[in-house]
Structure formats: structure tokens, C-alpha cells
Amino acid sequence: MSGARPGPGSGAGGWRGDRSGPALTRPRELDAVSVGEARALKDFTVVEVAVFIFRFNILNVLGCGSVAQAVLSRGHFGGIITINTGFSMAVGMAIYVSAGVSGGHINPAVSFAMCLFGRMKWFKFPFYVGAQFLGAFAGAATLFGVYYDAFMSFAGGKLLIVGENATAHIFATYPAPYLSLVNAFAEQVAATMFLLIVIFALFDSRNLGVPRGLEPVVIGFLIVTIASSLGMNSGCAMNPARDLSPRLFTALAGWGFEVFTAGNNFWWIPVVGPLVGAAAGGLVYFLLIEIHHPDLNPDLEAEQPEEKPEKYELNAIM
């Protein structure tokens, strides 16, 4: 989506050196890093990065798999309902699998908004985003392998980007023929803005929220709602990693680099639009909801210093 315990929450780094040797002198540049950030960097392990990649693999295989099944069967094994449902449930499953280790972050746009509004440290951002893009690429490759024979028989072995036998849109979004770039950009901004408004509400400990453990279910419903309302123009990506990495895979796997020029060079819209929309969604929630919460009793706030950050770190999405 998107896409959190370590999501915005696990830490970032992975230093596990041998401590049996002589003590090392602390580099001066580390003085600029807070103790909390240094500990978080140390706790962010290679295992957690691997979980990020695995989680996005789940999202892309199961999510894009619902599209593949519908397209390659020419509608006999699915349609718009199964695609929207499949993608939404894939988001929820990906979060459930990994929330305890890596926080359920599966969307760079959401990670960006969390950093922008102080819910996550910026130094974690490159780790999360890198793993999200790698996982999306791996997921696209896995899906292509699973359906390889179906792809080869669908259009006589041709891998096409446009036309009735096109299959590139199984992996990435493409605009409808009537859609202008301005309209496409506005759609991505609007869709991702609504996504972030609801996600911020879900993980705001001072809002109504949902019982812990049901967040992935609600996020899944949120995805299917947005896709059912705003998906006609271009598929409603809302996730730079979910769109760009599979698009790159198709360019390398046989569809050609026309995947980047199709639709009047549409490729950048699902990358930039969600980032702008995520920032807008966070700002709208902050200005219209968050700053209007009644002040809590300072004593109660002191008793639960970790509750709010932990809530926000649980977030994720497609």
C-alpha cells in the first residue's frame, strides 16, 4: 500500500561486530547521532531487511497475481472484483506476516509521510525504501516465473505493452487512452492523500483507532475502497515501489523499455504523485484533526511515553 513495528519502527543498521577484541575509539562523526538513533541503527539487522523484501514479494506475487489470473485467462478466472479484493487482501497478509519483525512498511509514500511528520527517523528511510523496491522487483520476477507458460501462450510468445493482448499492465499501471498526464497526476495525489489520512487516523492513539491486530484488515478494506472508487483512470497505484520496480522488471524481461515511454511517458506519475499525495494527506490530517485533539492529562501522557510512536510505527500499506 505501504506498506509497522519496524516499518517505521524497527531500527536501521546492522552492526554486529566481534566484541571480544580491544575496545574501539568512537569516531567523532558519531557524536552527531543521538544515542537513540545509534541504538536503532544497531538493531536494524540484515534479517529485517530480508523480511522487508520477503513481505513485498508476498504483496506483488499475490496482488499482481490476481491481475495475471484475470488477464491471462481472458476473464474466466477473475475480473475487477477479484483484482481489487486480491490486491487488498495481499496488502493485509503482507503486513500480518512481517509486522512483528519489520513493522509492515510496504509503501515508500507512507514511509516518506511518516518521516516528514516526525513519526519515523529520516536515517531509516533509505533502508526501508531500498528493501521495498528490491522486494517489488523480486515479486515481479517470481510472478513471471509462476505464470511463464501462460505468458508464452497468451499472445503467441509475444510480450506486448498495448493492445488487446497486452500483458505489461499485469505488473505496473498504465493510463486509459483518454487520460492526460495532469489528470493522472491529480488522481494519484488524491488517492494517496485519502490513503494517508485514514492511515494516520488508524494509528493515532488519541483517535478512535481499531483493536490492535486488526489494523491490516482495515487497511485492506481501505485499499479496496479507494481502488473501487478511483481505479478506473490508471489502476490507482498509490505506491512508487509497487509500480516502478515491476515496470523495470518488464523492461528487462522482454517487454522492452517502451514500458517507460508508453502513455506519453506515464511512468513517473505513479512515482511522484503518491509522494505528493502522502505529504498532502499527512498535512490535512495534522491541520484538521490532530492539532484539535483535547489536551491529555500530563500525568497520563508520562505513563505512556512509547504508546504513540509505537502506534505510528505499525503503519503500512500497498
Give the model confidence (pLDDT) of 206-215 as tens digits. 888 888 889 9
248: pLDDT strictly greater than 60: yes
Give the model's pLDDT for residue 51.
62
Highest mean pLDDT of the ranges 10-19, 114-123, 218-227 = 218-227
Question: What whole-number distance in Å separates Cα of residue 88 and Cα of residue 80?
Answer: 12
At residue 315, what is the residue type? N
Q: Residue 41 — very low, low, confident or very high, per pLDDT cuts 50/70/90?
A: low
Asked whether the CA dihedral 216, 222, 225, 229 is positive or negative, the reply is negative
The torsion of the CA quartet 70, 75, 77, 79, rounded to 10 degrees, works out to 60
CA distances from residue 137 to 134, 184, 253 in whole angstroms, order as listed: 5, 24, 11
Question: What whole-number distance in Å separates Cα of residue 188 and Cα of residue 202?
Answer: 21
> Which candidate, 275, 107, 267, places its Cα nearest to that of 172?
267
Range of lowest pLDDT (5-19, 41-55, 261-275, 291-305): 5-19
Q: Residue 145 — very low, low, confident or very high, per pLDDT cuts 50/70/90?
A: very high
List, for residues 228-238, the tens digit of each pLDDT value: 999 999 999 99
Give the model's pLDDT for residue 124.
83
Domains, the chain, ordered by start: 39-313 (1.20.1080.10)
